[in-house]
Amino acid sequence: EFLRSFWQRQVDAAEQETPDYRHPPLPLARIKKVMKSDPDVKMIAADAPILFCKACEIFISEITARAFIIADSNKRRTLSRADIAKALSKSDQFDFLIDIVPR
């Protein structure tokens, strides 16, 4: 239920948002660097890093929300690395992070 309401809030926020493209929440230069790390990528359209930035923001928010559920179930208000690892291990969609996030 928590995740369902999380996603509804994300959709509502995206519909209401007037984005500030000059001051993105994540550094666009770093996002471009990650995008260019793929050898198949030659050129990047100007609006692609902005879209990728929003996707990263939502991705980080979802992982944080899932980790909060774990911490809250253990009667804690502070997230730990173990909360994040446990939250990611509970869903198959995060299996691509198996080499990055320790168990």
Report yes or no on 80 lying in a domain.
Answer: yes
- Residue 93: which domain range? 24-97
What CATH number does the domain containing 43 carry? 1.10.20.10
pTM for the complete prediction? 0.79
In a domain, 6, yes or no: no
The 10s digit of each residue's pLDDT in 23-39 is: 888 899 999 999 999 99
pLDDT tens sequence across 66-98? 999 999 999 999 999 999 999 999 989 999 998
Cα–Cα distance between 65 and 6 in angstroms, integer?
Answer: 8
Q: Does residue 63 lie in a domain region?
A: yes
Tell me if 12 is assigned to some domain: no
| Number of domains forming the structure of the chain | 1
